[in-house]
Chain A
Amino acid sequence: MESSEEAVMQYVVAELKNWEAEEEKNGGGEGGSRVAAALAALCDVLAMAEGDLFGVFSIGELVARLPRLVAGGEGDVPLFAARAIAEACEGVPQWAPSFVRYSAVQALRDRLLAIDCIDLAEECLRALNIISMECPKECLSHGVAAAVLQFFDFFSMNKQKLVLKIVAKVLSDFDEKDAPKAMEAAPVLCNLLQSTDKTILDSAVSCLVMVSDGARDNAKHMEKLYELNAVQSTMRLMENDGWKSLSDETLSGILGLLKDLACLSARAVKSLFELNICDLLKEMITYYTSSHSDHNKVQTLVELIYYLMPPLEMCDHRTELIIAKKNVIMEQSRYIEQLASILTFIIELAKSAALSSICYSCAVVIRNIVELSTPSSLVEVQKTVNLSSLLASWLARKNRHIVFQTLNISKTLLNKQHKFFFEVFSREGVKQAIDTIIAQIRDTNSNQKQKGKSDLQESCLCFDLDLETSTDDTCKIDNRAILKLSEEIKKNFLVKGSAKSPHSLGCAFKSIKQFFSRLNGHATAPPVKDQELCKELSDISRQLLSDELPSTSTFEFVQSGSIKHLAGYLSNGTYFNSNLRNCQDLIGQLKEVQSRLQKFTHLALSVDSESSVKPLDILVEKLIDGLHVWYDSFPVILADEQCTRASNMIPLRDSGTGDEPTPVYIKFSRSTREEELEDYNSVLPVDLYSTPESIEEVLLADISAYKENTQEANGSRKSVGLTNGDGHKSSRLQFSYKGTKLRLSAPIFESILQSMHEGQTDIQIDSSFWDKEHKIVYKRRNKSKKISSQSSYNTQLSRVYGKLEMALLKDPFFSTILTGKLPGDLDESDPSYNFLFMLKVLEGLNRFSYHLLMDEKLCQFAEGYLQELDDLKVTTSPIPRDQFVSSLLTNKLEQQMQDRLFGDGLIPSWCYYLVENCPFLVPFESRWKYFCLTAHHSFMTEEVSSSTETKKYSVIRSNILEDAASMMNKHGSDTKTIEVEFDGEVGTGRGPTFEFYTTVSHELQRVGLGMWRGDNTNQKCEAGFVHAPFGLFPQPWSSEKTSSRGINFSDVIQRFKLLGHLVARAVLDGRVLDVPLSKAFYKIMLGQELDIYDIPSFDPELGKSIIEFKALVKRKKFFEGRASDPKDDFSYKNMRLEDLCLDFTLPGNPEYELIPGGSEKMVTLNNLEEYVSSLADATLKSGISNQIEAFKAGINEVFALKTLQLFSEDEMERILCGEQDSWASSKLEDHIDFDHGYDANSPSVISFLEILREFGREDQRAFMHFTTGAPQLPLGGLASLDPKLTVVRKQCDGKVDDELPSVNTCRHFFKLPPYSSKEIMRQKLKYAIKEGLGSFQLS
């Protein structure tokens, strides 16, 4: 092929040869410029050349010559030669090795070091950049890394970055023998740590990390790095919260680097201590365990702490280093103090760590620190964070590594401070746990002899922390080692003590036991009559459950059987014999349980005047602590080594991987003993979330004797999955895997994995798992089925359902306590069961405390213990819901959710169970994440577009409600994101869409729509909107009327359906509604029942009266059964009921007759009961049922409303209406006046505004409620408040900081004392508004 390029090539080669010849002759010559010209031409050709052209001619001639020209040429020759190399390699990277063979690397390096001219240097860089990609090793061994860095400062920013790129490539992977060369680069890299440029800094750190990675095993190199000030420079980067601004990778790199340094250099350790590494570590641990859960970081941090200390196990070849480290620590007592101070952080971290590997690292570190600490500081640690209870819970784990290390810690503690820790260990259950271990191992040992079964496999965690990376021998931690150590501890430390001390358990033990058995006995005593006993009980309970010393340890609490006693008491015995035997007596049982709940609520929420801690607080804390001991009941199952999902919020539609979900291949075959069914005997791909229950249906069709060959015809290998809808048929098949029966409700993958990894808690799925076929055997289930108590209870309950008035009786928590059994098929023998049970009951009790206590008050009034209706007040408030959150389970769930396959259904059954049945254990954020990851199962349309596709619609502003309704009816269930634009207006996208949702939610609040309560009063609708100070609640509509006051009922129904659509779209598309729905309405949305105690929450006046009426009814009923009939007691606040002139119509809506002919029927004492129940029914049920149905239907068209039930009413509001209330932070001062000693610049006012801005939604609302008397601002927010909110200075006589703020709700005056600090102001403010909120419903 004749082409111009080839011509040039030949010309260049000729020119070069020519020059060489000349050079040989006269030793240097005139040809330089000609050569340069030739090379320039060559460069042009190479630069222009297309890839395939290079194949045409051989470059062999050039490869050998160009490097020589770089090295030896003069003038422009080296420049063009270097450029030619760069061009050539860029075009054909495979040529790079050939150039390397001809010493191109050395030539370029030398030119670079000679630094004659910057152009040449840059060409060299360019060439080296490409060569280093192909031949990093050669480059390193020729010292390229150090060379390119030599004149780093001379280069432009771009070239500097290129230099670092080259260094990174060169260092990417090197052998030990090249380590010295790599170390040559270290000085400059260390200097670069001071760079202010982020990119340079990041690359420098990553290069340095590579250097230290390669040189990790060589103490000399590490010492060198230390001498280069690596420790100081990196620590400087991190100080003053600098680590928060570093990129994630850089921070991990630095921590890894410090870890390596600390590992091998005693001097580095010393200097880390000098630089207060411990304080930094504390901050970081707190940060990465609480808000920014990142277990990889935590692991690194813990390891870093480990390396700050000399290892405990001596190994031969590092004695010197170990001694040096020991000396560092021993020299300065404050280093040990620093370590001791970090101990409490590690213990806290360990308590809620979700992975065994982290627990193990913590255990190792704790052991080390304990070894170094003084006995007295250990006593302090025990007192502040209760190390012993952690040890006890660790000893209960399955993981042998953790148990082994824990035993070592225990031994050390006993060794150091025997008397103290002996007592503590008895109290916290460490001693008992050790006994249990000994007994268990002996037991299995003797079993082993019979069966010859070997130890269970356990993935070894040792290598994680061992100093030596080359431990080839197998892990030494086995049952024998554990047994030996436990026996040693027992013999040396625990035996003689037990002989001496009579109470093997703590002193409080006995009295707890006594208390709870008394409680049981108390049940039979007449309730209120026995006031003395009641008081005595509450005294004991407070004493026992209080945190006064000597406090009751969790262990004692659990061990004393208090939970069982309490459960037995509250459930009136059904907890013990889980079958509700005498179903006839269900009503009696209901009443008894309710009254016990009431009594206990009273006890548990009563506050001592001195301490503000409620017994329930302590009880819940103990239960959560106790639950955490049973770590192994909640195994995390991970498919990936690394977690691929970022821990922040995920969009709702991000459904897993986006590809087809990963299936498990399962071969189903018939049991050998099964004759009736056919043998399926083939492999099915099964969805991860499939359970035996869901598979059965599919399978049965094929294996029943009369099967029709339908499945086969389909032919496709479509995964078998969960069908929508929850038809709970009784199962007919029994599945088993390797002889173990599968649990019906647990996903199949989980059961298989658990039997594969028996004896392990956290399971890392082997990649081969997905390729393997797993064999599952089925057979027909035995016919003799027990009728479960649950279902018989349900049938019983449904019979009496209509008679139940109180909503709490229909709450799942109540059926839990009534039947003495948690919902679902949870394994009752699991040690965590009791705790979950009790927590579920107590959470319900706390949630319904107002209902329970108010009902109790009503009874007291009825029976004459309360005289006045005005005494019907509940003054205690429930404990905050977040008290019920379990940090450990939250971490575990978070860990599970981070797995890549979670969205595909890699969800262990405990996750389902917790989120569905015990949502209170997990905070809102985690549940929201769970919802987002699993919601796509509940979408109503078949295919889910995981992309962020949008669909646009246009609406006419003047006709917005109708347009919105018709759009939603047509497209509401679309999975695509809906965007809206206004007809005839230019805007499109997010803005108008948000405006659309806001406008429609406002339009739905107009008066005259007949939707909401308060619509017909005509009193407070200045702007034409319904003002519902306590939130919107549907207005009752009589079922007989199709229209009223010019409003058609069918329109009202349509509007509610539209609202349902809006709510659903808001959740789906992440839109925000501006509609102040009442809490009670949210409760309905979430499927909860309402009763008359809910009325005050949306209509205080009506609620107050109707509760008072109900109290009268109860009193009348009570006295009817008695001989004496004191007429006077039945007056309504000294009025005859007849004088109220009430008839049987809905207050404010005389068209709505509560009973037929109601407008003619007057309310008297004799028909008051009928009036109360029919009024409550109209308000809460029959009058609004059609509206509610329409609303729910609207939501259900988009996705299953049921899936929202894992949220509470407050959280639902947060989801729909966003975090911010209608008061936008920036506008605060525009709508608040300052008067009487304050102006906008007063220091108090500035702090006050700051505090208000920091308030969350609930606090804002409480503040408004306190200040204006209503939690809900009118539409338009603070700006529409009339009169304007005014902050005035409160005159204080005494100490200002003892005063509380006060208000004038008529004028919306907020009287603020001029507190001495913002913190005090916040405290007092919160206290004042909280107290007001606590009594929110209690008009």
Chain B
Amino acid sequence: MTRGENNTGAHGTGNVPAATATAITTTTTAAAAAASSGKQPGAGARGAECQSVMRRLQSELMSLMMGGDPGISAFPEGDNIFQWVGTIAGSAATAYEGTSYRLSLAFPGEYPYKPPKVRFETPCFHPNVDAHGNICLDILQDKWSSAYDVRTILLSVQSLLGEPNNESPLNTQAAALWPDQDEFRKMVHKLYKPAAA
């Protein structure tokens, strides 16, 4: 996400200073922290009690399975409804054609008021994705709205693959390479390590 640049990319990740902007800090270690803080009183109890979030996630799961959007899917990981694994396929006619990426989605207790933490699990060579899989996408930060859901998120990430925001890259190498689509495609596939399904 960026500020102060006149970028009208597909994801609207740029905004000029005058525009409204509030965001939470992305922390690379967020997921690790969440895991390590399991001993906190709240964490253990959460799964059993957050009925409204569970209801919401279950309903999302249903509509995802019914909707059948091409190239995206998501499913809770194990018993924990707050931890999902999503998959997106690289769209045709992009450098990512033929690839499939796994993402992790961690939902907070305040979902849908607060966005889930989304990360690439499969290494992804992309201007807006860093080495840890963190994604720089406005709707996951300050442009989040309670009306968004897993489906919107996955579709947004999918379209981000084909239309990166090169103005404020997390991966500068990828941003530099982007103009040369052939080389870029090679690089994507070279670094692509699909998870053993």
Partner of B51, one of A1017, A1030, A1150, A1311: A1150
A1020 x B18 contact (CB < 8 A)? no
Q: Do B4 and A1300 touch (CB < 8 A)?
A: yes
Smallest Cβ-Cβ distance to B35: which chain A residue: A1018
B55 touches A1141 (CB 8 A): yes
Q: Measured between C-beta atoms, what is the minimum distance from A392 to chain B in Å? A: 41
Contact among B23, B113, B134, B169 for A1147, CB-based, below 8 A: B113
Chain A residues with CB below 8 A from B50, complex form:
1148, 1150
Q: Is the interface of A mostly helix, strand, loop or mixed?
A: loop
**Residues in B whose Cβ lies below 8 Å from that of A1332:** 3, 17, 21
Cβ contacts A to B, 9 pairs, < 8 Å: A1017-B108, A1020-B30, A1030-B22, A1143-B52, A1150-B50, A1302-B2, A1305-B2, A1305-B3, A1335-B21
Given A1302-B2, A1331-B18: A1102 and B52 within 8 A (CB)?
A: no
A747 interface residue, CB < 8 Å from B?
A: no
Q: Find chain B residues with CB under 8 A from A875 CB.
A: 18, 20
**Residues in chain A near residue B115, CB distance under 8 A:** 1101
Chain A positions 934 through 977: 1 when the CB is less than 8 Å from some CB of chain B, otherwise 0: 00000000000000000000000000000000000000000000
| Contact status of A1306 and B108, CB under 8 A, knowing A875-B18, A1016-B42 | no
Nearest Cβ on chain A to B184's Cβ, whole angstroms = 21
B80 at the interface (CB under 8 A from A): no
Binds A, one of B96-104, B144-152, B155-163: B144-152
Assembled-state Cα–Cα distance A257/B189 (Å): 88
Which of A1007, A1016, A1149, A1304 has the most B CB atoms < 10 Å from its CB?
Answer: A1304
Residue of A nearest to B32 (CB): A1022
Chain B contact residue count (CB 8 A cutoff): 56
Nearest chain A CB to B90 CB, angstrom units: 22
For B56, the closest partner residue in chain A by CB is A1141
Report A-chain residues with C-beta under 8 Å of the C-beta of B27: 1020, 1022, 1282
Query: Which residues of the partner chain B approach A1331 to less than 8 Å between Cβ atoms?
Result: 17-18
Instruction: Tell which of A1018, A1268, A1334 touches B37, judged by Cβ atoms closer than 8 Å.
Output: A1018
Check if B24 sits within 8 Å of A1269, measured CB to CB. yes
A143 to chain B, nearest CB (A): 76
B187 to chain A, nearest CB (A): 20
Specify which chain A residues have a CB less than 8 angstroms from the CB of B56 in the assembled complex.
1140-1142
Measured in the bound complex, the distance between the Cα atoms of B22 and A1102 in whole Å is 12
Which B32-65 residues have a C-beta within 8 angstroms of A?
Answer: 33-34, 37, 40-43, 45, 49-53, 55-56, 59
- The answer to whether the Cβ of A1270 comes within 8 Å of any Cβ in the partner chain is yes
Asked if B8 is at the interface of the complex by the 8 Å CB criterion, the answer is: no
B55 contacts A1270, C-beta separation under 8 Å: no
Contact partners of B37 in chain A: CB under 8 A: 1007, 1018, 1021
For A1107-1139 the 0/1 string (1 means CB < 8 A from B) is 010000000000000000000000011110001
Report the Cα distance A1328→B113, complex, angstroms: 29
Measured in the bound complex, the distance between the Cα atoms of B38 and A1007 in whole Å is 12
Q: Taking A1143-B55, A1269-B25 as contacts, is the C-beta distance between A1302 and B18 under 8 angstroms?
A: no
Asked, given contacts A1135-B147, A1140-B112, A1307-B136, whether A1302 binds B4 with beta carbons under 8 Å apart, the answer is yes
Given A1022-B29, A1046-B41, A1147-B113, A1269:B4 Cβ within 8 A:
no
- Kindly state the separation between the CA atoms of A1017 and B50 in the bound complex, as whole angstroms: 12
A699 in contact (CB, < 8 A)? no
Assess whether A1018 is in contact with B42, with CB atoms less than 8 Å apart. Answer: yes
How many Å lie between the Cα of A1281 and that of B108 in the bound state?
22
A778 at the interface (CB under 8 A from B): no
In the complex the two chains form, what is the Cα distance from A1133 to B149 in whole Å?
12
* CA gap between A1339 and B27 in the complex, in Å: 21
Chain B residue with the shortest CB-CB distance to A1017: B108
Q: Which residue of A lies closest to B39 (CB)?
A: A1008
A1309 to B20, CA, bound (A): 19
- A1301 in the interface, Cβ–Cβ < 8 Å? yes
- Complex Cα spacing A1017 to B19, Å: 29
Report B99 CB to chain A, min CB distance, Å: 23
What is B's interface to A at a CB cutoff of 8 Å? 1-5, 17-30, 33-34, 37, 40-43, 45, 49-53, 55-56, 59, 108-110, 112-115, 117, 130, 134, 136, 141-142, 144-147, 168-170, 172
Which residue of A1133, A1134, A1269, A1301 is within 8 Å of B141 (Cβ)? A1269
Chain A residues positioned under 8 Å from B20 (CB to CB): 873, 875, 1335, 1338-1339
Say yes or no: is A1336 at the interface (Cβ < 8 Å to chain B).
yes
Q: Is A29 an interface residue (CB 8 A)?
A: no
CB of A501 within 8 Å of the partner chain? no
Ranked nearest first, the 6 interchain pairs of A and B with the lowest CB-CB distance are: A1302-B4, A1269-B23, A1141-B56, A1306-B136, A1133-B147, A1045-B41
Q: Which residue of B lies closest to A1045 (CB)?
A: B41
Contacts A1140-B112, A1269-B141, A1305-B141 given: A1021-B2 contact, CB under 8 Å? Answer: no
How many Å lie between the Cα of A758 and that of B104 in the bound state?
Answer: 81
Whether the Cβ atoms of B22 and A1309 lie closer than 8 Å is no
CA distance A268 to B115 in the complex (A): 78
The smallest C-beta distance from B173 to any residue of chain A, in angstroms, reads 13
Whether, in the assembled complex, A1047 has its beta carbon less than 8 Å from a beta carbon of chain B, the answer is yes
B112 CB to nearest chain A CB (Å): 6
Mark A residues whose CB is within 8 Å of B: 873, 875, 1007-1008, 1015-1022, 1029-1030, 1045-1047, 1096, 1100-1102, 1104-1105, 1108, 1132-1135, 1139-1143, 1145, 1147-1151, 1159, 1236, 1266, 1268-1270, 1274, 1281-1283, 1300-1307, 1309, 1311, 1327-1329, 1331-1332, 1334-1339
Question: Which residue on B lies nearest to A1141, using beta carbons?
Answer: B56
Contact partner of A1269 (CB less than 8 A), chosen from B21, B29, B41, B169, is: B21
With a CB–CB cut-off of 8 A, which chain A residues contact B21? 1269, 1305, 1332, 1335, 1339
Q: Judging by beta carbons under 8 Å apart, are A1141 and B59 in contact?
A: yes
CA distance A1020 to B29 in the complex (A): 9
| Given A1022-B27, A1045-B41, A1269-B23, A1102 and B113 contact (CB-CB distance below 8 Å) | yes
- Asked whether, in the complex, the Cβ of A1132 is within 8 Å of the Cβ of B147, the reply is yes
Contacts of A1309 in B (CB 8 A): 168
Instruction: Tell me the complex Cα distance, A1148–B144, Å.
Output: 17
B110 partner residues in chain A, CB cutoff 8 A: 1017, 1101-1102, 1147-1148
Q: Given contacts A1017-B109, A1102-B114, could you give 14 more A-B pairs where the C-beta distance is less than 8 Å?
A: A1017-B114, A1018-B34, A1018-B43, A1019-B33, A1020-B30, A1096-B22, A1148-B113, A1151-B49, A1268-B25, A1270-B23, A1270-B24, A1281-B25, A1302-B5, A1338-B20
Q: Which of B52, B136, B147 has the most CB of A within 10 A?
A: B52
Give the distance in Å from the alpha carbon of A1144 to the alpha carbon of B52 in the complex: 9
Residues of chain A with a CB closer than 8 A to B29's CB: 1022, 1282
Residue of B nearest to A1099 (CB): B113
Q: Known: A1141-B59, A1304-B168, A1328-B4. Is A1018-B147 also a contact (CB below 8 A)?
A: no
A1012 to nearest B CB, angstroms?
13
Q: How far is the CA of A80 from the CA of B7 in the complex (A)?
A: 96
A980 to chain B, nearest CB (A): 30
Decide if A1335 touches B18 in the complex (CB within 8 Å): yes
Residue of B nearest to A1281 (CB): B25
How far does the alpha carbon of A1142 sit from the alpha carbon of B172 in the complex, in Å?
41
What is the minimal beta-carbon distance from B176 to any residue of chain A, in angstroms?
Answer: 11
A1141 vs B45: C-alpha distance when bound (angstroms): 20
Known: A1266-B17, A1304-B1, A1335-B19. A1140 touches B147 (CB 8 A): yes
Contacts of A1102 in B (CB 8 A): 110, 113-114
* A contact residues around B23 at 8 Å (CB): 1268-1270, 1305
Given the complex of chains A and B, what is the CA–CA distance between A521 and B24 in angstroms? 47
> Contact between B1 and A1306 (Cβ–Cβ < 8 Å)?
yes
- Residues of the A chain whose Cβ atoms lie less than 8 Å from the Cβ of B59: 1139, 1141
Nearest Cβ on chain B to A1153's Cβ, whole angstroms: 11
Q: How far is the CB of A1165 from chain B (nearest CB, A)?
A: 14
Nearest chain B residue, comparing its CB with the CB of A1270: B25
Beta-carbon contact of A1150 and B49 below 8 Å:
yes
Interface centre among B29, B134, B145 (most CB of A within 10 A): B145
Residues of chain B contacted by A1282 (CB below 8 angstroms): 27-29
